[in-house]
Amino acid sequence: MAKQFDLIIKNGAVLTSDGVGRYEIGIKDGKIIQLSPSIDSGLAKEVIDAEGGYVMPGGVDAHVHIAQDFTSGPKGVMGKCADDFLTGSRSAVCGGTTTIIAFAQQNRSDESLLKVVQNYHALSEKSGAYCDYGFHVIITRPEVQMLEKELPKLIEDWGITSCKLFMTYSSMQLSDNQLLDVMYETRKRFMTTMIHAENGDLISWLTNKLEQRGLVEPFYHAISRPPVVEMEATHRAIVLAEMIQNPVLFVHVGSASAAQIIRNAQTRGFPIYAETCPQYLHLTWDDLKRFHSPKCFENSKMICSPPPGPDDSDQEALWAGLRNGTFTIYSSDHCPFRYKDVHGKALGVLQHEQSLGSARCPVDQEHLSEILDDKTGHFKYVPNGCPGVETRLPLLFEYGLKTGRVSPERYVDLVSTAPAKLYGLYPIKGALIPGISDADLVIWYPNDALPSFKLTNANLHHNVDYTPYEGMEFGNWPRYTIVRGQIVWAEGELRASASVGKYLKRGTNQLATRPTNSIASDKRRVATWLYKA
Ligand SMILES: NC(=O)NCCC(=O)O
Ligand SMILES: [Zn+2]
């Protein structure tokens, strides 16, 4: 007789952003079809006993860099991502994430965003993926005609309803004028505008001054970007966004001062969304001196933009922001570069030597250890970014939920439900609604069932040769990850192939609130005349 369910999950503490309850979950054809206090095990082909552990919607990581080539154009992020869709999504599911949103990146030489997206999609189709995935688009050519023509197609044909704009990296940086041009177009189409807020000119100026003084080791990456660099750009972007009444999302917010500026705008009633990431809750400037000696080039492993805060006082403010709603979402900003790789962090040495005319030959993968062992290099040539798609959920579980810094409900909201809403995937993703939601789930170990362990990079499934969180203690980890009803990760083993993941067409921001009337009509801040017929 045909079974009513493909899979039943029994004895779990079912946790959503609304609360915790003892429910059993019935799954059929990739969907959740029943949630009730008890379901007869005989009705299912397969049963998982959660033994009292938390069962929650799968993680939605709205900020991952995968298969991105940053090499084109001078003074960009540099390097090439070490993870493709296969290895990046593999790492995601092994850490409890069932949906990722990656970046289709327009370079200045790309005349069509649609082409960019088609090419990027071909990469994901070629490698396959272990989890579902969608795309944001990075816009570096703010040409109004192109935007008018292509944005509607991106939305309708591809379900791409968000774009990322940069205020730094000269190969991607937009001027205020250009930011306004793009925001004016995205506003018309209810696209979510993501902003990387750092003052690129200030960074270049400080970098030159550091260079003149010979201060170029990895640590000085942070000194070239003190928190005020992020704070100024955040304030400026809010002024622009408010002027034309276009809600924006600040990605990877790393400093207390930027979080405060965002909080002020939210309190005024202007809809601003913000994201923070694990690196800003767990790292400080000291981590850029962590390896061997403060001058050791290995410290380049910790370079990301913006850098983490100078000390842990920023971290406390960011934890508060996660609790009080300043931060809407918590993402990884997984930006995977290998240390010993000619496309990775090693570029900090290789490009530096080339710029000095002292490049050693041959500069290839084989000779890299030899070259890196000399431990010289310049931070400005080091690709910016750290890996973290697999550690995102466990870190916030261990250091946020278990310590009481965030409630269990807030935890689910930050890692799954809010990103699903913000990026138009809810309630298919980020929820456990019978008959509606995909059966994307994470099941944790019951309390104290997993002996606590110190993380090492060998535990992880990305294609990167280090983790910034090496040695940190964990007492829990996703025990099962289920993507549309398929068990992809179980008790430390990958159980599926990369044919599970599907491309997701997304809707528009479901959190979007309109600015309050008083703020929308404040002629001191808003071009109120701009939208009058
Ligand atoms: N965040 C980071 O350091 N790398 C990723 C690229 C970017 O957004 O800056
Ligand atoms: Zn960024």
Q: What number of other Cβ atoms are within 10 A of residue 235's Cβ?
A: 17
* DSSP-assigned letter for residue 481: E
Q: Which ligand is nearest to the CA of 76?
A: 1
Q: Is the CB of 172 under 6 A from ligand 1?
A: no
- Residue 303 CA: which ligand 1 atom is closest? 3
d(CA 123, CA 106): 15
The 3-state secondary structure of 241-252 reads HHHCCCCEEECC
Q: How do beta strands 19-28 and 5-16 pair?
A: antiparallel
Instruction: Give domain status of residue 94, yes or no.
Output: yes
Does 384 sit in the ligand 1 pocket, CB within 6 Å? yes
**Of 409, 384, 394, nearest to 333 (Cα)?**
384
Ligand with an atom nearest the CA of residue 384: 1
Measured distance CA(6)–CA(310) in Å, rounded: 51
Q: Is 77 in the pocket of ligand 1 (CB under 6 A)?
A: yes
Assess if residue 317 is contained within a domain: yes
Query: Cα of 305 to ligand 2 centre, how many Å?
Result: 7
**Complex prediction ipTM:** 0.98
**Ligand 2 center–CA 30 separation, angstroms:** 34
- How far apart are the C-alpha atoms of 530 and 533, rounded to whole Å? 9
Collect all residues with Cβ–Cβ distance below 8 Å to 493 and sequence separation of at least 6.
none
Which residue's alpha carbon is at the smallest distance from atom 5 of ligand 1?
A: 385
Helix (H) or strand (E) holding 371: helix 368-373
User: How many domains does the chain divide into?
Assistant: 1
Largest CA distance in the chain: 78
Candidate from 335, 345, 464 with most ligand 1 atoms within 8 A of CB, to mutate: 335
**Residue with CA closest to ligand 1 atom 2:** 385
Backbone phi, psi, residue 6, to 5°: -80, -35
Q: Indicate whether 99 belongs to any domain.
A: yes
Question: How many A from CA of 384 to the centre of ligand 1?
Answer: 5
Does residue 186 lie within any of the structural domains? Answer: yes
Provide the pLDDT for residue 369. 82
Domain that holds residue 302: 59-392
Which ligand is nearest the CA of 382, by number? 1
Parallel/antiparallel/unpaired status of strands 441-444 and 54-57: antiparallel
Ligand 1 binding pocket includes 168 (Cβ within 6 Å): no
Q: How far is the CA of 3 from the centre of ligand 1 (A)?
A: 48
Q: Distance between terminal CA atoms of the chain?
A: 64
Query: Considering the domain boundaries, does residue 336 fall inside one?
Result: yes
Whole-prediction pTM value?
0.97
Q: Which of 77, 277, 301 to mutate to test the pocket of ligand 1 (most atoms within 8 A of CB)?
A: 77
Residue 398 lies in a domain: no
- The predicted pLDDT at position 267 comes to 93
pLDDT in tens, the chain (533 residues): 789 999 999 999 999 999 999 999 999 999 999 999 999 999 999 999 999 999 999 999 999 999 999 987 667 778 999 999 999 999 999 999 999 999 999 999 999 999 999 999 999 999 999 999 999 999 999 999 999 999 999 999 999 999 999 999 999 999 999 999 999 999 999 999 999 999 999 999 999 999 999 999 999 999 999 999 999 999 999 999 999 999 999 999 999 999 999 999 999 989 999 999 999 999 999 999 999 888 899 999 999 999 999 999 999 999 999 999 999 999 999 999 999 999 999 999 988 988 888 766 566 777 788 778 766 799 999 999 999 999 999 999 999 999 999 999 999 999 999 999 999 999 999 999 999 999 999 999 999 999 999 999 999 999 999 999 999 999 999 999 999 999 999 999 999 999 999 999 999 999 977 777 777 888 999 999 987 75
Q: Is the CB of 279 under 6 A from ligand 1?
A: no
Tell me the CA–centroid distance for residue 165 and ligand 2, in Å: 8
Token pair 């979007």 in the structure block, residue? 512
Among residues 518, 421, 411, 503, the alpha carbon closest in space to that of 192 is found at 421
With a 6 A CB cut-off, is 335 part of the ligand 1 pocket? yes
**Is the residue at 430 inside a domain?**
no
Q: For ligand 1, what atom is nearest to the CA of residue 304?
A: 3
Q: Give the Å distance between the CA of 250 and the centre of ligand 2.
A: 9
**Separation of 414 CA from ligand 2 center, angstroms?**
19
Q: Measured from the CB, is residue 132 less than 6 Å from ligand 1?
A: no
Q: Could you identify the atom of ligand 1 that is nearest to the CA of residue 252?
A: 1
Q: Which atom of ligand 1 is nearest to the CA of 168?
A: 9
For residue 530, the 8-state DSSP code is G
- Within a domain: residue 503? no
Residue 65 CA: nearest ligand 1 atom is: 5
Q: Which two tokens stand for residue 245?
A: 């009444």
- Read off the CATH number of the domain in which 169 is found: 3.20.20.140
For residue 384, give the ligand 1 atom closest to its CA: 3
Distance between Cα 383 and ligand 2 center (Å)? 12
Nearest-Å Rg of the Cα atoms of the chain is: 23
Give me 502's structure tokens: 């599907």
- Looking at all shown ligands, the one closest to residue 77's CA atom is 1
- In this structure, the residue with its CA closest to atom 1 of ligand 1 is 305
**Closest C-alpha among 255, 281, 250, 280 to residue 265:** 250
